[in-house]
């Protein structure tokens, strides 16, 4: 549940291969053929959309040369954003994508105007639904009625403290099983895949409970959806709009995913609905989990078995991939900076020794929290955020007088903002205790430096009315995992290698997919 899903428009090559490998023999040539045909169609019709000629360009702006900029964007978006941020401070610029222009906004004033714009003017939901092709990949109900953010922001977030013992138990069990260590041996494991397993299990202990959160097929399904949806969405996006209703369902894995999900979730959901019908909405013994919270928040058709199963899978999709990316960056930062382990361990020991393992005690681990926030600042999973689409028929006018026409797409330049020396001294130096030092120095307003807190200068979770609704749970989950690791394990990079390099593809900052981290049982 980290960030607000806009980074998911990226198509990493590794994911594309995995997605194509998951298709049957008929779908692979169909998908590739349609994607190629769609690409030609998009190239032929590119930039015939909203007129953005008044917005300055980073990269070529000609009708043909702009495609060179679009190619550069795939591998060097971060550098292009930084160039625009420096050339057009407190303003905006545009970069070429293969099928359209994207407008990037910098400066706190304009970023604030995006963050707090009305949905009827700048639409977060329409932008996200188009990037993810939500109707085809995740279900029409998700696209039509996005009530789940309210459920996550209210019922789910309010129950993090009550359910923390379950979360904590799953952290311990999953790491013990995935790291079967003996004595003083070092064990190197693929960081990304291992952390995805831990986060999927831990999240689902909170969402659906035992025993389903440990069911191998259910876990594999949710991990597969997290990896599959983005790529299938991009294949569908290559199609011209009039072909999507015909071929979108053929490319998407929605039907097979739902059949598999229904096998696990339908009995649980059906039992809850039956109890509610027989005993009333507040029936005795009502479980305190995601299924219950979704039922309480749903109305009309969204109370059907199929719709509720889709919603559980969607929440998993939103939670698992972004949190795994964020935590893998965090783990690499810890292993690459071992001098932080001792003070973090001392803080965890002191607080847990006095108060035990609770959400409240996690909240008192200021250095641990700072390390997470600095990792998100330094290695955020997206170089842009606050994705919106102009939907007001009259366009959207900023305070500087710039008007973007309907149909324009825009974002804030997150990486450049997070590395601005005017906001962060020595911004290119990783300082794990940067924010805990600021909290200690400020008696009033120190909470603004917490990992969970968004601001116009810190957009890891977005900001404004569409800030990530699940960031409270995601933060507690990641801090709980990190605290357990530093307390119980020694951690290092194999062969004392440097931090594994990030993979920058379009606007995404992806942690190294195959790099390993070595663990052993704590020795002192």
For residues 20 and 123, what is the distance between their CA atoms, to the nearest angstrom? 31
Instruction: Provide the sign of the torsion angle of the four alpha carbons 127, 133, 135, 137, taken in this order.
Output: negative
**Residue 468 is assigned to a ligand binding site:** yes
How many whole angstroms separate alpha carbon 402 and alpha carbon 375?
A: 34
Of 252, 379, 388, the C-alpha closest to 325 is 379
Burial classification of residue 317, based on how many CB atoms lie within 10 Å of its CB (0-12 exposed, 13-18 middle, 19 or more buried): buried
Distances (CA, A) of 338 to 84, 236, 378: 35, 44, 17
- Alpha-carbon distance of 28 to 206, in angstroms, equals 36
Sorted by sequence, the CB contacts under 8 Å of residue 120 that are 6+ apart come out as 391, 392
| Count of beta carbons in the 10 Å neighbourhood of residue 277 | 10
Q: Determine how many CB atoms are found less than 10 A away from the CB of residue 288.
A: 13
- Judging by beta carbons within 10 Å of its beta carbon (0-12, 13-18, 19+), is residue 54 exposed, middle or buried? exposed
Do the strands 101-105 and 409-412 form a parallel or antiparallel pair, or are they unpaired? Answer: parallel
* Cβ partners under 8 Å of residue 192, min gap 6: 324, 328, 511, 512, 513, 514, 515
With 0-12 / 13-18 / 19 or more C-beta atoms within 10 angstroms meaning exposed / middle / buried, residue 481 is buried
Q: Count other C-beta atoms under 10 Å from residue 356's C-beta.
A: 11
378 Cβ partners below 8 Å, 6+ apart?
333, 418, 430
Residues annotated within a binding site for heme: 468
Residues annotated within a binding site: 468
């Amino acid at each position: 549940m980290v960030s607000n899903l806009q980074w998911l428009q990226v198509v990493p090559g590794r994911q594309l291969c995995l997605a194509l490998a998951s298709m049957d023999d008929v779908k692979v040539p169909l998908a590739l053929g349609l994607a190629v045909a769609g690409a030609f169609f998009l190239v032929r019709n590119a930039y015939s959309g909203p007129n953005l000629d008044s917005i300055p360009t980073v990269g070529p702006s000609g009708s043909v040369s702009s495609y060179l900029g679009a190619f550069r964007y795939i591998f060097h978006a971060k550098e292009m954003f930084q160039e625009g941020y420096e050339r057009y401070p407190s303003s905006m610029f545009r970069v070429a994508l293969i099928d359209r222009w994207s407008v990037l906004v910098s400066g706190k004033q304009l970023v604030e105007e995006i963050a707090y714009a009305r949905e009827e003017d700048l639409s977060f939901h329409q932008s996200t639904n188009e990037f993810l092709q939500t109707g085809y990949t995740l279900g029409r109900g998700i696209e039509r009625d996005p009530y789940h953010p309210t459920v996550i922001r209210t019922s789910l977030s309010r129950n993090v403290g009550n359910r923390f013992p379950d979360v904590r138990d799953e952290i311990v069990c999953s790491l013990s099983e995935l790291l079967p260590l003996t004595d003083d041996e070092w064990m190197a494991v693929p960081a990304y895949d291992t952390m995805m397993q831990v986060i999927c299990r831990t999240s689902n202990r909170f969402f659906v409970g035992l025993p389903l959160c440990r069911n191998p097929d259910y876990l594999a399904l949710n991990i597969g959806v997290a990896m599959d949806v983005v790529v299938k969405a991009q294949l569908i996006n290559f199609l011209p709009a009039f072909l999507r209703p015909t071929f979108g369902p053929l490319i998407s894995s929605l039907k097979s995913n739902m059949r598999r999900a229904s096998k696990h979730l339908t009995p649980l959901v059906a039992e809850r609905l039956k109890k509610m019908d027989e005993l009333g909405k507040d029936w005795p013994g009502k479980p305190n989990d995601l299924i219950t919270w979704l039922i309480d928040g749903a109305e009309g058709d969204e109370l059907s078995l199929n719709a509720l199963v889709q919603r559980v899978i969607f929440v998993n999709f939103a939670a698992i991939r972004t949190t795994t990316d964020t935590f893998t960056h965090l783990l690499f930062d810890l292993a690459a900076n071992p001098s932080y382990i001792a003070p973090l361990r001392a803080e965890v020991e002191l607080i847990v020794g006095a108060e035990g393992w609770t959400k409240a005690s996690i909240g008192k681990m200021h250095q641990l929290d700072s390390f997470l926030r600095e990792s998100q600042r330094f290695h955020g999973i997206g170089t842009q955020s606050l994705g919106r689409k102009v939907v007001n028929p009259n366009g959207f006018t900023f305070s500087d007088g710039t008007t973007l026409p309907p149909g324009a797409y825009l974002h804030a330049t997150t990486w450049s903002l997070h590395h601005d020396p005017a906001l962060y001294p020595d911004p290119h130096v990783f300082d794990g205790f940067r924010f805990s030092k600021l909290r200690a120095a400020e008696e009033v307003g120190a909470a603004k430096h917490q990992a969970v807190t968004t601001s116009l200068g810190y957009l890891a979770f977005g900001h404004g009315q569409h800030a990530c609704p699940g960031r409270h749970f995601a933060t507690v989950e990641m801090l709980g995992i990190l605290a357990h690791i530093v307390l119980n394990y020694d951690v290092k990079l194999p062969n004392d290698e440097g931090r594994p390099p990030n993979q920058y593809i379009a606007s995404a900052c992806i942690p190294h997919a195959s790099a390993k981290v070595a663990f052993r049982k704590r020795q002192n």
